[in-house]
Chains A and B, each alone.
Chain A
Amino acid sequence: MAREKTTYRMVNENPCNMCMPMGGILPFKGIEESMVIIHGSQGCSTYMRRHIAEHYNEPIDVGSSSLNEKGTVYGGAQNLFQALDNIRKVYRPRLIGILTSCLAETIGEDVEGIARYYLKQRGLEGISLVAVSTPGYGGTHSEGYWLAVKKIVAGLAETTGKHGGINVIVPNLSPADIREIKRILNLMGVRYTLVPDISDTLDRPIARPYTKIPPGGTSIESVRRMPGAAATIQFGVTVEEKLSPGHYLQSEFGVPLYNLPVPMGVEATDRLVDLLAQLSGNSAPQILNMERGRLLDCMVDSHKYNALGSGALFGDPELVYAVARTCAENGLYPAVVATGSGNAILEELLGPILADSPQQARYLNEADFTQIREACRETGVNIAIGHSDGKYLTEREGIPLVRIGFPIHDRVGGQRLLSVGYTGTTMFLDRVTNTILEHKHRNYRAAMYRKFYRKTGIEECPHEKYCAKEVR
């Protein structure tokens, strides 16, 4: 495995990641009756609302303290106070997340201090404020996501008696994925608190009456009681300890942590089911065994096609790892694995998978799409798997893209994509296999031309520019 650093290049050309506060918004959308404010320029909340709304096709309300030039001189506490007042009055939330963006951070706002002072000054009870310091230059949206989850847990957690439930902490997955994880938890008969639960709030059914804060999300009470759980299951093996809510609960409250990969693929889903069986004393119900069997059947059916795939995987580190495992299980070895994050753990974890690969795979840390594109060319990638910015690879290199993760801006239904559990993996693999097949059929003539007629002097294939790499 060859690893590359990006330091020789100054330019970030077509980024593979967004900024920290963007990721920080999402977990707050998975907490019941909560709202979120960005302390900074109002453009931050507007841009992020726009991008999140386009992915989930849902209203995304995010307040802003609308800091302006005056605030940069005198500090922004007054604006934040006003923002909190107005959000409380109109939305009546029980929890307000306060994220910072570049401006507040650069002028050195002590947002936790301001939040504490606000509660005291207004004499408020029954409302929680969770402040998270998320400068745009402090990391990518992945780090912002995990830090916000950790701060929510740390901000609400109370010392409680043991209640025997299980904490489940999830990365940024689709609402459909969260629903599937909850279904598995229910099938295994465990009592759980899943944080953050965006399954209903960011994939909201048409229902009456319309409310400004969507119904659903993890209840604040259950987050408070997380320290009393028998165990924490966190799908966050790529998460640094300082950002990890599971590690926080372990070190502060002694809740045993089971840090697992996202339950995608046979092995990772088995690990979850086995762990749940062990924790609950229940064995997996027949329905799950059937689903597992169907996944295996799917893999048998499609391995012959998938083995022809040479994949480029990119996106959030946690999801990239899950996708890499899943693909490798089916013989679709990744040729390029990339993340916009600066994540050291992912590289280590990928080691054994990439070592099994029949070809030399490339790992790109802190990558942009220009690097990913170059790596794809060099390695002969013929399928890309990741978020919608990978469309660039399709446009420029003719590499088809299977969309997964966040954001998906050029298709509908990103919120409904199911890819976890035995059933979700089956659906994911089908999407991958069918993309490979479609691509193969579409390019059959061009591939044949290249193989047999190129040197005969027949004029260049008219479809050449739409054709991808030759399928090996």
Chain B
Amino acid sequence: MAINEKMLEEILNKYPAKVKRNRKKHILIRDSALETQEIEANTRTIPGIVTNRGCAFAGCKGVVLGPLKDMVHIVHGPIGCAYYSWLTRRNKARADEPKKNFLAYCVSTDMQESDIVFGGEKKLARMIDEVVEIFKPNAITISATCPVGLIGDDIQAVAKAARAKHGLNITAYSCEGYKGVSQSAGHHIANNGLMENIIGEGDWEEPPSKYTINILGEYNIGGDSWEVERILNEIGYEVQAVMTGNGSYEKLKNAHVAQLNLVQCHRSINYIATMLETKYGTPWLKVNFIGIRATIESLRNMARYFGDEALIKRTEEVIEKELAEIEPQLEPYRKICSGKTAFCFVGGSRGHHYQGLYEELGVTTVLAGYEFAHRDDYEGRDVLPNIKADADSKNIPDLHVTPDERRYRLKIPAERMEELKQEIPLSNYKGMIDDMTDGSIVVDDLNHYETEEFIRILKPDIFSSGIKDKYIPQKMGIPTKQLHNYDYSGPYAGFRGAVNFARDVAMGFATPTWNFIMPPWKNQPLLEGTVEDCTANTCVEEVAT
């Protein structure tokens, strides 16, 4: 069943008037006849709306910094935030030689009341000494939680002193939870810090191979980046650094030598992508390794960027080989999935990326949205000049980088670059809305109430989101698929990942469990009516259930 403006209005009527006006701007019905469709995003969350959004700390330490494996990530603050960001995203990592992987460790200053009163700087400084001694990490990050900024602990100064003392890359991130409107602020803070303090610290001047690339915005959830790297290596690419899934300080510090940066999650890492372009002249390419078609397109675009015939040929060979491997495996799952509908509500990119993979299985996405994305993730980067900076976004300063005199070089001639920009998404992202079918719903910052209402109207066959909201549809009788941490499954990226995803989604549809738990619209009529003798005016009176 499609949804119209009137039904939308009815859903929103439950809210107080002011909230209704606000939420209305965050929801739209896709209509490709319109030239542009504007959505409001990255604005303050309405208090009490039961959002799924997190905070700046979650975006900084939890998402971007956390997966860097050979570093110890100190959380300066009371214990809770350290605990809650302790491997909760399933970002996997395998230690490089010499073995340094500290992801299983949750390290915190565990501030107590007295630290709040008297300040925690000394405790932090002594703790850094201990961490250096215990772990001997390659680098250390310090992330601040709410009280730190408020009591005026100068973590930047502590980091600087410790850096001098230990001769180690020790950096601080003032990502207190109250900054910005969601975890997006934290991504930005982490991007700035990594760019300023780590990327380019290495002494490499030349890329180690002909096709050296970085993968940005890939967090190796459930092993995604391993699958992507497998394919890329097979074609002949050398992956220098992954930001930041399975990433490391050792790799990151020489990330500046890459000839191309791939951007998987645009939202969380586009800052670094554009800064790398300005500073080192490295263009970035928007890729999507979720879904078979999207993966193929991304690989072809990469080959086209390098423009090497042998590489293009090798790319096609690998694609052919991979397809031959997975197509027969996918077939039975397609039969189960075909004709179904899905909701796809994830953080800042996957809400878009998974729609293609669903489509390949025959599943139509009828509602999609992002938790914390900005307008450009919905409408495309063309909208960037029109986004007005507000007080919240100004709180996270842009880092102004300039071309590096020694290391800046054009990776391809300027004219060729302009040509390519017409053909492939080079330094560009066209956003999610463009890919959505007419009549489907786009919702920014979906909450519990709206989840339930949209489910009642659209009756999706599967709801894909995260752990906080997945139990709502399950209680209503609808299968779910977690797209934040994949319900402990994965990888879902690349070719083999697509098979895993198809298997997991098909399993959700096919399990006999649901035969006992029909959603109400499957076995109860949505309308009830009585048939009466025909009188002059009315024939049938319908009574809605």
Nearest-neighbor residue (CB-CB) of A368 within chain B: B110
Residues of B within 8 A of A209 (CB): 520
Residues of B within 8 A of A135 (CB): 78, 113, 116
The answer, yes or no, to whether A437 is at the interface (CB within 8 Å) is no
Docked pose: A22 CA to B58 CA in angstroms: 16
The answer, yes or no, to whether A186 is at the interface (CB within 8 Å) is no
Tell me the chain A residues, 107-124 only, with Cβ under 8 Å from chain B: 107
Tell me the chain A residues, 86-120 only, with Cβ under 8 Å from chain B: 86-87, 89-90, 101-103, 105-107
Tell me the chain A residues, 17-32 only, with Cβ under 8 Å from chain B: 17-22
Tell me the chain A residues, 299-328 only, with Cβ under 8 Å from chain B: none
Docked pose: A176 CA to B134 CA in angstroms: 42
The answer, yes or no, to whether B469 is at the interface (CB within 8 Å) is yes
B83 and A37: CB pair below 8 A? no
Q: Mark B469-510, 1 if CB is under 8 A from A, else 0.
A: 101100111000000000000000000000000000000000
Residues of B within 8 A of A50 (CB): 84, 88, 466-468
B107 and A13: CB pair below 8 A? yes
Q: How many whole Å from A7's CB to the nearest CB in chain B?
A: 11
The answer, yes or no, to whether A83 is at the interface (CB within 8 Å) is yes
Residues of B within 8 A of A435 (CB): none
Q: How large is the interface on B (under 10, 10 to 19, 20 to 34, 35 or more residues)?
A: 35 or more
Residues of B within 8 A of A102 (CB): 77-78, 80, 145-147
Residues of A within 8 A of B81 (CB): 19, 43, 47, 136
The answer, yes or no, to whether B391 is at the interface (CB within 8 Å) is yes
Docked pose: A140 CA to B112 CA in angstroms: 10
A40 and B48: CB pair below 8 A? no
A66 and B47: CB pair below 8 A? yes
B130 and A9: CB pair below 8 A? yes
Pick from B47, B52, B79: contact of A18, CB under 8 Å = B79
Q: Which of A55-63, A153-161, A290-298, A422-430 contacts B (4 or more CB under 8 A)?
A: A55-63
B104 and A103: CB pair below 8 A? no
Docked pose: A340 CA to B53 CA in angstroms: 28
Q: How many whole Å from A82's CB to the nearest CB in chain B?
A: 4
Pick from B47, B150, B449, B466: contact of A106, CB under 8 Å = B150
The answer, yes or no, to whether B136 is at the interface (CB within 8 Å) is no
Q: Mark A204-223, 1 if CB is under 8 A from B, else 0.
A: 10101110100000000000
Q: How many whole Å from B247's CB to the nearest CB in chain A?
A: 22
B84 and A59: CB pair below 8 A? no
Q: How many whole Å from A32's CB to the nearest CB in chain B?
A: 18
The answer, yes or no, to whether A49 is at the interface (CB within 8 Å) is yes
The answer, yes or no, to whether A231 is at the interface (CB within 8 Å) is no
Asked if A46 meets B54 with Cβ closer than 8 Å, knowing A84-B48, A102-B147, A206-B517, the reply is yes
Tell me the chain B residues, 53-95 only, with Cβ under 8 Å from chain A: 53-58, 77-86, 88
A137 and B475: CB pair below 8 A? no
Pick from B47, B57, B131, B181: contact of A86, CB under 8 Å = B47
Asked if A12 meets B107 with Cβ closer than 8 Å, knowing A17-B79, A66-B46, the reply is yes
Pick from B109, B113, B395, B520: contact of A138, CB under 8 Å = B113
Q: How many whole Å from B133's CB to the nearest CB in chain A?
A: 10
Nearest-neighbor residue (CB-CB) of A107 within chain B: B150
Docked pose: A60 CA to B467 CA in angstroms: 10
The answer, yes or no, to whether A64 is at the interface (CB within 8 Å) is yes
Residues of A within 8 A of B57 (CB): 41, 43
Give A contacts to B, CB under 8 Å: 9-15, 17-22, 37, 40-44, 46-51, 53-54, 57-72, 79-80, 82-87, 89-90, 101-103, 105-107, 135-138, 140, 204, 206, 208-210, 212, 340, 392, 395
Give 12 CB contacts A-B under 8 Å. A19-B81, A41-B176, A43-B177, A51-B84, A54-B467, A65-B47, A86-B16, A86-B48, A87-B50, A89-B14, A102-B147, A137-B113
Given contacts A50-B88, A82-B48, 11 further A-B contacts (CB under 8 A): A11-B107, A12-B110, A47-B58, A47-B84, A48-B84, A80-B47, A82-B46, A86-B48, A90-B49, A101-B146, A136-B78
